A and B are shown apart, each in its own frame.
Chain A
Amino acid sequence: MTSLQALAQQCAQETHRFFQRQAQNTRYCLELFHRAIVAKQEEAWELVYQQYEPQVTKWVLRHPSFPSTGETADYFVNLAFLRLWTAITPAKFAEFNDIKEVMRYLQLCVHSVIIDHLRARPSATIGFEEHEAQRILSEHGIRIDVKVLNKVQQEKLWEIIKTRLQNDKERFIFDCCYKLDMKPGEIFQQCGDQFRDVREIYRIKENILARLRRDKEIQAFLQQNAGKQQA
């Protein structure tokens, strides 16, 4: 038996006792993680995966947003370990005093990969439903082709748009609607004192969209990037 396998066995026992809430030391687990993460030993990493995969699966299934992702638990389990692997630096690892802190971090990895997945589909973000209107449009054969730019292009787009927004109200409405995916009703509910009624918010949106539509630079920007669509 190699020392690493012995370590993994000790760690398995410790982990079992840990989740059984038996006060104990967790030095072997911490050491196994140390070898996997800091020393980058591939075999240690495989043992970490084997050891904690069932626990991570439980966490994925228990995450409040997991049901709305439409993905399998395995998908997020793999991503969570990958996240742990890439996000935890030796310096960060040095901050951990016991296995509980490592487990917390692994839970964070589960959470962040699920949220990343949802962020990539704004219409599925927390609390938002598909629109009835979209259904009617598609019934009438009106297709919505959303062009997704790469990160650099997105930043350029925002740099241009920023200069086209004319006042604080427009900037606020733009941020709420397009950067935070808030509906005008929701904005009015939260910041009602700043607007006469929800129709004012719609009129501001109308003005912004009309200006961006007339804007040659933005139109040219869209044209020149045509054909570089993702997803």
Chain B
Amino acid sequence: MTPSISPHPTDAELLAWLNGDATHSAHITHCPACLARVGVLSNEEQFLQANLYRADCPSAHELGEYELKLLPAFRINAIAAHVAHCPRCSQELALLRTFFTASPLPETGPSAAEQIRVIIARLLGDVRAGWQGPGAMQPVMAAMRGEEHKPQIYEAGDYQLTIEVLDDPINPGRRALFGLLIGEEAPALFEIQLWQGDHLVTYAPVDEYGNFSISDLMNESYDLKLIKPELEIRLEALRL
């Protein structure tokens, strides 16, 4: 072994060898001094890389939220500026797009809202004619009964809907809703749903006779929907 025939390569040349350049390979691989020096350089490089790699880059997740347009404007601008000059982030974004393309998601199609015919239910009155809601004479009675509403009848196209709200016998302090849908040959196709804003609070089936009930409800206002394929009967702001 005669490593000293050629002079020792410079650190720059050793770094090149470390990165796969074979120019000084014959010397370096036989020279313990150079191999030791390469060890020092490699240690230093890997230390810097291990501790500073991607230090300025947004996280992969934030980069993805940027792609999905879920970020606030100030982050969108910052990330767009970063991606424009960062090859790693550009690569990751390209990879994400490839992944999305390779794992396509079905279109959810025309939304149900577009296909469904909506009928708004109209109050006809309560079952016992003449009752107009809790009046001046009734607050004491109403309190004793838990402010029960009498059955109310609604009309919705060819359908008729009767709704009654009572104190929930099982859950103290909660309300229970009972209803009957008339005018449908197969009422079990319907489902009753209670909504608050965009939030579906609860739902229940309608039975073959058109009866439905939901218990354990808060004393609040709900939008009631009776839904079957392609038809929705809606009763808005039903106060329990």
Contact = CB atoms under 8 A, between A and B. Distances in A.
B15 A146 contact: no
B184 interface: no
Contact of A122 (B50, B63, B95): B50
A100 B11 CA distance: 55
Interface in A172-220: 175, 177-185, 190, 198-199, 202-203, 205-206, 209-210, 212-213
Nearest to A205: B15
Contacts of A23: 107-110
B60 A116 contact: yes
A202 B16 contact: yes
Contacts of B54: 119, 179-180
Contacts, number: 199
Contacts of B51: 147-149, 153-154, 157
Interface stretch (B37-45, B147-155, B174-182): B37-45
Contacts of B39: 137, 142-144
Interface of B is mostly: helix
Given A107-B100, A140-B35, A146 B95 contact: no
A23 B107 CA distance: 7
Contacts of A83: 61
B171 interface: no
B52 A178 contact: yes
Contact of B49 (A25, A122, A199): A122
Interface residues on A, range: 35 or more
B32 A140 contact: yes
Interface residues of B, number: 66
Contacts of B10: 206
B202 to A, nearest CB: 6
Given A25-B112, A126-B91, A133-B38, A104 B100 contact: yes
B67 to A, nearest CB: 8
B111 A154 contact: no
A22 B108 CA distance: 8
B60 A112 contact: yes
Contacts of B56: 175, 179
B35 A206 contact: no
Given A122-B53, A126-B95, A131-B18, A142 B64 contact: no
A203 B15 CA distance: 9
Contact of A181 (B49, B100, B107, B110): B49
Contacts of B46: 144, 146
A98 B87 CA distance: 33
B11 A104 contact: no
A181 B53 contact: yes
A112 B203 CA distance: 36
B206 to A, nearest CB: 14
Interface string B116-134: 0000000000000000000
Interface of B: 10-13, 15-20, 29, 32, 35-36, 38-39, 41-57, 59-61, 63-65, 67-68, 70, 86-88, 91-92, 95-96, 98-100, 102-103, 105-112, 199-200, 202-203
Given A64-B95, A137-B35, 9 more contacts: A64-B98, A95-B70, A100-B106, A107-B105, A116-B59, A140-B35, A142-B36, A158-B55, A185-B19
Interface of A: 3, 18-28, 31, 34, 58-59, 62-65, 83, 87, 92, 95, 98-100, 103-105, 107-112, 115-116, 119, 122, 125-127, 131-134, 136-137, 140, 142-149, 153-154, 157-158, 161, 175, 177-185, 190, 198-199, 202-203, 205-206, 209-210, 212-213
11 contacts: A25-B111, A26-B108, A107-B100, A112-B64, A115-B92, A116-B59, A132-B20, A140-B35, A149-B51, A178-B49, A179-B57
